């Protein structure tokens, strides 16, 4: 049986743990938002994209950026990192489950967009935040995301 003080000690430990988890989540959120802003600026200035919306949600799914490049609608997932790992590991962080969620969100967006765009694609932007060397942005265009039965003419 636990004494009152042992229970109190465990409770304090649990509260401290929850506070730290909240702090970590806020830090990740802040880093993610900074990466998305850098990605939007990159798309507008360097790639001449027209940003339609950002952080578009449908139920539990979210698309970071929806933009247009000419007549092509582009769904963009942004991954932001501060660590020293290879940029390729960030690319791999877009898991099969995440791709499925993105495809579901993209289909929902296309369903509610009139007229439905003929051409659309999925891109990934990797943002690496570096204190000393400046930020690095890598843009991977036309990532295979949709099934064979559901694709844009841009995949042909």
Q: Tens digits of per-residue pLDDT, 110-155?
A: 999 988 888 999 999 999 988 777 888 999 999 887 666 665 655 4
Q: Residue 131's domain is classified under what CATH number?
A: 3.40.1350.10
Domain count, the chain: 1
pLDDT mean across residues, the chain? 83
CA neighbor of 154 nearest in space, from 51, 74, 78, 62: 74
* Mean local confidence (pLDDT), 18-46: 79
Can you tell me the distance from the alpha carbon of 90 to that of 83, in angstroms, rounded to the nearest whole number? 10
pLDDT above 70 for 31: yes
Dihedral of the alpha carbons of 137, 141, 147, 153, in degrees to the nearest 10 = 150
The CA-atom distances, in angstroms, between 123 and each of 37, 40, 63, 65 are: 16, 13, 11, 10
Model pTM score: 0.77
Give me the count of residues in the chain: 156
- What number of CA atoms fall less than 13 Å from residue 91's CA on the CB side? 10
pLDDT at 42: 97
pLDDT at 147: 67
- Domain around 149: 4-155
């Amino acid at each position: 049986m636990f004494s009152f003080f042992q229970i109190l000690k465990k409770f304090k430990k649990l509260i401290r743990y929850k506070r730290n988890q909240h702090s970590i989540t806020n830090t990740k959120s802040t880093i993610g938002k900074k990466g998305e802003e850098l990605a939007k600026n990159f798309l507008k200035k360097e790639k001449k994209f027209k940003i339609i919306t950002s952080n578009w949600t449908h139920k539990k799914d979210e698309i970071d950026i929806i933009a247009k490049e000419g007549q092509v609608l582009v769904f963009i997932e942004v991954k932001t990192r501060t660590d020293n790992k290879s940029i390729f590991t960030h690319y791999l962080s877009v898991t099969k489950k995440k791709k499925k969620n993105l495809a579901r969100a993209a289909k929902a967006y296309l369903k509610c967009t009139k007229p439905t765009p003929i051409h659309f694609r999925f891109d990934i932007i990797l943002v690496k935040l570096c204190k000393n060397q400046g930020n690095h942005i890598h843009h991977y265009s036309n990532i295979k995301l949709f099934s064979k039965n559901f694709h844009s003419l841009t995949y042909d």
